């Protein structure tokens, strides 16, 4: 599945909802990148995950270690 551009309205885009639903169980950064196959991990983190984390829609399992290889993301 390819990622579409982010919408800035309060409801979010379909893609944002799909990422949040996918992260209903804690996921590593590779999980969503594999699920949305046409995107690199770097792009996914910068353009999709980071804004969702900043909005509080996805949280870090280890907030004190955001770059840990054991980090998981949970909605």
Q: Over the Cα atoms of the chain, what is R_g? A: 11
What is the structure's pLDDT at 11? 59
Residue 12 region by backbone torsions, left for phi larger than 0, else alpha for psi between -120 and 50, else beta:
left
Element (H or E) spanning 65, and its range? none
**Out of 5-14, 42-51, 54-63, least confident range:** 5-14
pLDDT in tens, 25-55: 999 988 888 888 778 889 999 999 999 999 9
What is the structure's pLDDT at 45? 92
Provide the mean pLDDT of the chain: 86
Measured CA to CA, the distance from residue 16 to residue 49 in angstroms comes to: 9
Who contacts 19 (Cβ-Cβ below 8 Å, separation ≥6)? 32, 36, 48, 49, 52, 58
Measured CA to CA, the distance from residue 3 to residue 75 in angstroms comes to: 18
């Amino acid at each position: 599945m390819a990622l579409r551009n982010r919408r800035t309205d309060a409801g979010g885009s379909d893609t944002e909802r799909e990422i949040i639903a996918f992260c209903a169980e804690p996921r590593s950064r590779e999980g969503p990148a594999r699920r949305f196959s046409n995107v690199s991990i770097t792009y996914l983190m910068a353009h999709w995950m980071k804004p969702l984390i900043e909005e509080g829609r996805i949280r870090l399992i280890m907030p004190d270690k955001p770059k840990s290889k054991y980090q998981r993301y949970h909605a």
